[in-house]
Every structure is written in C-alpha cells, then in structure tokens.
C-alpha cells in the first residue's frame, strides 16, 4: 500500500540517506531504526508528505502521494516530536478541536470514552498545562484512538510514557494493525510489539 523507491534526503549540505526503498502493506508495521542523526525523523516527515524527498518517489495505493494530496492526508495520521496538544485547552477540547481540524466532528461520548481509556477520567476539564508530562502524552494517545486513519506515522511515540501507558500504546498499535491498518514508527527503546518489519536508515 505504501511504497517508496530510491528515496534520498539532503539536510543542509549533508546527505542523510539515499537509495532507500520500502514497502508496507495492510496489517504490517515498520520499525525505522538508525543512529541519532541518521535521518529517521526526516524519513518519517518525507513519508508524511511534510517535506519533499531530494530524489525518489512515494506511492500510496499505487498513486504518487504528490498527486493524491488531500486524499492521502485523509488516510494519514502523523505524530511528530511535538504532539500538537494545546496547553491552554483541556484534554476534552484538545480532542474535539483536533478532530475538527481533520475535517470531522467527534461526538461527546466517544471523546470522553477515549479519555477514560487512557486514565484521564476526572481530568477532562483541567487545562493541559496543569497535567504531568506523562498525562500530556496520554492526551495524544487518546487522539490516536479516536482518529480514523489507515496509515499511522509515529515519531518516538513511546517517549515519556510510563509502563502502563506503553502497554496501552502497544495495544492500540496491535489493534490498529490487526484491523488492516499500517503503522510506521521510530523508537530508541525496545518495542513490545510482535512481528514488525525493520528498516535501517543511514549511510
């Protein structure tokens, strides 16, 4: 479903990687590995169509993503280093507004259910800036749970999560993949997920 051929990436004057091929289908997940500064984040951003590759092409369902534009973005969920969580807003508002930004309405029950699932019950109406770092990450996970997307691209999703949250996130990813979704992620720690594809980035 998502395939890339001969990708290369140049940052500043440095060539991070070149001739990179990858291919992930429904029900598969891909672990992007490599040293610090090897270009893992750059690769994910290129795959998410945030920045163009220096060379090479990415296809989604056989079509170049540059042509698909919003049809690709509708099926994509990207989670970067910063989680796009607004500190001034409550977890509930964050969920509702993020959904609206994606062009969909999220109903109240669904939002509250997702927040409860990630242990944020009782924190729904507290501004995010009063939450702990781990709780902030959980708001993100709740967004993952409510967003209907086929392709997940997650950059270091396990950072700043406690043991229980790690379990929850890996549960989410497994659920997503077994339902025919695709996940591409980076992680500097061991991932408690079975049967992943692995790709190494770097010269």
Interior CA angle at 29 toward 28 and 30, to 5°? Answer: 130
82 contributes a contact to another protein by CB under 8 A: yes
Question: What own/partner pairs with CB < 8 Å and gap ≥ 24 does 186-191 have?
Answer: 186/31, 186/32, 186/33, 186/40, 186/41, 186/44, 186/154, 186/155, 186/156, 187/31, 187/156, 187/157, 187/158, 188/156, 189/158, 191/31, 191/158
Would you say 24 or 76 has its CB closer to another protein?
76
Pick 51 or 189: Cβ nearer another protein: 51
Query: Which residue lies nearer to another protein by CB, 52 or 164?
Result: 52
Binders of another protein among residues 3 to 42 (CB under 8 A) are: 12-13
188 is a contact residue toward another protein (CB under 8 A): no
The span of 31-39, 101-109, 171-179, 182-190 binding another protein (CB under 8 A) equals 101-109
Q: Does 88 engage in binding with another protein (CB under 8 A)?
A: yes
DSSP state of 129: G
- What ranges in 102-132 are assigned the alpha helix state H? 108-117
Q: How far is the CB of 21 from another protein (least distance, A)?
A: 23
Size of site (CB under 8 A) for another protein? 31
Closest separation in Å from C-beta 151 to another protein: 11
From residue 70, give the alpha-carbon distance in Å to each of 66, 74, 120, 127: 9, 6, 32, 32
Q: By CB under 8 A, name the one of 86, 110, 126, 197 that touches another protein.
A: 86
Residue 160 or 174 having the CB closest to another protein: 160
CA dihedral 90, 95, 99, 101 (to 10 degrees): 30
Residue ranges in 45-64 that form contacts with another protein under rule CB under 8 A? 48-52
């Amino acid at each position: 479903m998502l395939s890339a051929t001969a990708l290369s990436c140049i940052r500043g004057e440095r060539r991070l990687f070149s001739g990179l091929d990858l291919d992930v289908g429904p029900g598969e997940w891909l672990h992007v590995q490599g040293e610090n500064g090897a270009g893992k984040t750059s690769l994910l951003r290129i795959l998410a169509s945030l920045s163009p590759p220096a060379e090479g092409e990415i296809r989604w369902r056989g079509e170049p993503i540059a042509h698909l534009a919003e049809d690709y973005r509708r099926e994509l969920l990207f989670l970067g280093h910063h989680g796009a969580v607004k500190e001034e807003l409550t977890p509930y508002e964050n969920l509702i507004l993020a959904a609206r930004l994606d062009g969909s309405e999220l109903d109240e029950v669904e939002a509250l259910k997702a927040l409860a699932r990630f242990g944020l019950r009782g924190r729904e109406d507290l501004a995010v800036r009063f939450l702990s770092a781990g709780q902030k990450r959980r708001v993100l996970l709740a967004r993952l749970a409510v967003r209907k997307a086929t392709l997940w691209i997650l950059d270091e999703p396990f950072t700043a999560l406690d043991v229980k949250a790690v379990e929850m996130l890996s549960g989410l990813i497994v659920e997503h993949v077994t339902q025919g979704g695709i996940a591409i992620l980076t992680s500097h720690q061991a991932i408690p997920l079975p049967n992943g594809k692995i790709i190494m980035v770097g010269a």
